[in-house]
Each structure stands twice: as C-alpha cells, then as structure tokens.
Amino acid sequence: RAKEEGRDRYAMFDEEMREAAVQSLDLEADLRRAINHRDFVPYFQPITRLDDGQVVGYEALLRWQHERRGLLLPAEFISLGENSGLIEQVDWLLYEQVIEQVARGGEGYVSVNVSPRHFRSPDFADRLLGLCDKHGADTTRLRVEITEVALLDDAPRTLRMLRTLRQHGVLAQLDDFGTGFSALSYLHRFPISALKIDRSFIAGMGEDGRPESLALVRAILALASTLGIDTIAEGVETDEQRAALLELGCRFGQGYLLGRPAARIGGLVTA
C-alpha cells in the first residue's frame, strides 16, 4: 500500500515537473515570438518630491502585451528573460520606445532599468547614446537604474560605462538599494546620482513593521548625504510613510500613494 502510494506521489510529482518544464518552454517560445512582434510597452510611474508632490521624473517599467494572456508584469517573465539571455533584446526594444518618448519633449527625466547582463556588452553605453542621437532625444533627460550586482560583477567595466554615460549627460541611479551586497566602500567610486531605497525598508518603517527598518533607512539616508547623492524612497504607499521619510530627510519618492504606473506620461511631461 505504502509503496503504491509512494509510486503515485512520484508519478504526480513527475507530471507537475513535466508541466512546469513545458510551460516555461512555451513561455520561452512566446517570448521569442513577442520579440519579433515587438509586443512590449513601457509603463511610466512618476517620481515626485516628497514635500510638495511635484513630479521630477518617471521610471519606465516593462510590460509584455501577451497575445493570449493579456498584459504581463516583469515578475512573470523577467527571470526567464535573464536565463535565456532574451532580456537584452526585450530591453532594447523598450529603450527605443522610451527614447522616442523622451524625444517628443517635456520636462523631467525618464529612467530605464538595466539588467546586469548588459554590463557584459562593451558597447552598451554607445548603443544607448546612439539611440538618443538617432531620435534626437535630450540625453540629460534619460537616466539608467542599475543594481548593486552590476557594481560588483565587473566593477572596472561598469565604471567605464557609467562614466561614458555621465559624460554625455545620462545619470545613473542605484536601484533596490540595501537588498544586494551593499558595497559601501565601492559606492563613492561610482558616478551614482541617486540611491533608490528598496521598498522592503519603506514597508517595514511603520509601527507594525520590522524595527530595524527605520534604523536602516536612517543609515542609508546618512550615507547618501555624506556622499552628496539624492535619495528616492520606493514603494511609498501611505501618507505616514511619506511624512516619516520627509522628516528623516529623504527628498524624493515613488509609490502608489504618489502615482501608479500608467501607459502614458501624465500632463507634466508630455510635450
């Protein structure tokens, strides 16, 4: 009996594994097709001043308009994209649309997310600047968001790339700060204009949050202030969080309280 049940369980397990494998294969085939069809669009989420709510920029967020499944979020396909190496092609399709949007004019910056994979290709900066040139986009209105991994992975190359971008007016912000191996000793060597404090710390700041979060936010703000760089709090969802961050000296925020990601850039930026 027990043996039989065991066998059944194995059979079931096999079946589930097979399904998962087939599904991810399907999705990979879908992703390849979507690249050919250019089925990706940027959504834009405002980044605002925490004191008066003034929009200073937008983050461009990747969305996949899947032919059957509707609008997909990065969580549903980004790791597949990273593992298959397809993310780079997807990103370039997105960057071009974002740069076209920037070229239409307006105020404030638009930041794009850069997968650490891109830092392995030596022509990343030139290619990005080339797209700006092609569309006549003001490079000072484009920013890149990189993660701490990129600083560690191939530091000399990342440094070169960020320097090239900065020389041409493209500033860099450090995304999800505090979740990686925050290489504090490295930080001052890189031309980073802002730290984006990861959402998990902001979520933990309230009374029912994790007690260390507030201390960590305070420490990150002190560090940024020492280095003379801006701070953007991610995932600001409540007015209590907004007020607390402001009180602690954080100037900028992004989150559902301040504005949701949307298919279009709101009034302030469009020409």
Residues contributing to the site for ligand C2E (CB under 6 A): 45, 61-62, 73-75, 78, 87, 91, 94, 113, 115, 145, 175-176, 199, 234-235, 237, 254-256, 261
Q: Among Mg ion, ligand C2E, none, what does residue 181 contact (CB within 5–8 Å per kind)?
A: none
Of 196, 197, 211, 206, the C-alpha closest to 240 is 206
Q: Among Mg ion, ligand C2E, none, what does residue 78 contact (CB within 5–8 Å per kind)?
A: ligand C2E
Of 134, 137, 120, 121, the C-alpha closest to 60 is 137
Of 115, 92, 74, the C-alpha closest to 38 is 92
Within positions 106 to 165, which residues make up the interface with Mg ion, using CB under 5 A? Answer: 113, 145
Which is closer to ligand C2E, CB of 20 or CB of 73? 73
Q: How far apart are CA 130 and CA 170, in angstroms?
A: 12
Q: Among ligand C2E, Mg ion, none, what does residue 10 contact (CB within 5–8 Å per kind)?
A: none
Which is closer to ligand C2E, CB of 177 or CB of 190? 177
Q: How far apart are CA 37 and CA 107, in angstroms?
A: 31
Give the interface segment with Mg ion, choosing from 13-21, 124-132, 148-156, 174-182 (CB under 5 A): 174-182
Q: Which two tokens stand for residue 270?
A: 């469009």
* 175 binding Mg ion? (CB under 5 A): yes
What is the DSSP pairing of strand 70-72 with strand 55-66?
Answer: antiparallel
Which is closer to ligand C2E, CB of 5 or CB of 213? 213
CB of 242 to Mg ion, least distance (A): 17
Scanning the structure block, which residue is given the tokens 């902001």? 202
DSSP three-state, residue 47: strand
Give the interface segment with Mg ion, choosing from 129-137, 159-167, 206-214, 229-237 (CB under 5 A): 229-237
Do 59 and 111 meet the contact criterion of CB atoms below 8 Å apart? Answer: yes
CB of 176 to Mg ion, least distance (A): 4
CB of 201 to Mg ion, least distance (A): 11
Q: Which two tokens stand for residue 256?
A: 């559902």
Rama region for 38: left / alpha / beta (φ>0; ψ in -120 to 50; rest): left
Q: Among ligand C2E, Mg ion, none, what does residue 115 contact (CB within 5–8 Å per kind)?
A: ligand C2E
Residues that bind Mg ion (CB under 5 A): 113, 145, 175-176, 234
